[in-house]
Amino acid sequence: MRRIVLDTETTGLNPELGHRVIEIGAVELVDRRVTGRTFHTYLNPDREIDAGAVEVHGLTTDFLADKPRFPDVKAEFLDFIAGAELVIHNAPFDVGFLNSELRRRDRDDDLRRHCQGVLDTLKMAKEMHPGQKNNLDALCRRYEVDNSGRAYHGALLDAQLLAEVYLAMTRGQDSLAIESFLTPPPQSRQVGVEAGIKVLTASPDEQAEHLAYLEKMAKDCGRTLVW
């Protein structure tokens, strides 16, 4: 299965107030393996960035002034995620911002039109570790993922860290091979033969002696025996 682990950085917290996406980072997983294919871009938001947001990701208006705008990279981005399941930490935040960008040109567009679905690792972590911190830093510590180079939030770095965390959180789930107990054994199977055990069949005299013993036991008990 193909999955895209994705993260964004933004100018603020609410796209409904005009805040924009300024960085997208994405990492490809195929059959639970990091393929090395990534998507990464900075974006010019055509607006100021909240001071609180700059403290989180370190991206400034001056740095982004010569970067492409979302419509310039839209086709490449949608091609990269096409047909994949998206893996996002706190998915409603990123999905909300990306939908806001998509709908600036097409009011009916939606991120889920372009992928197989969205998996929220924050929701998953809360279910697995209730009552504990479940932000990305906490999960890195819990699953022993090295995040020592994370001085600032960065979309591509965070996507790479989340990919490692996601694989650690879900380790073993895709490798279970359970045979259904409803499947009947082959008719030709002989008990003991497959295990290499020598099977000895009772002789006619032994079988007759055994039946005689059962009949005597039934007579002594005064009832029919059920075996």
114 catalytic per annotation: no
Q: Of the listed 19, 89, 114, 153, which one is catalytic?
A: 153
Return d(Cα 77, Cα 160) in angstroms, integer: 17
Residues forming a β-bridge with 117: 85
* Strand, coil or helix: 23: strand
Where does 5-83 have alpha helices with state H? 51-57, 61-64, 70-81
With CA atoms as reference, report the closest residue to 121 among 94, 147, 88, 95: 88
DSSP string, 188-209: T--TTTTTTPPP-PPPHHHHHH
Return d(Cα 120, Cα 124) in angstroms, integer: 6
Torsion, CA 137, CA 30, CA 128, CA 157, rounded to 10: 10
Tokens 């010569």 correspond to 66
* Strand, coil or helix: 2: strand
Residues annotated as part of the active site: 153
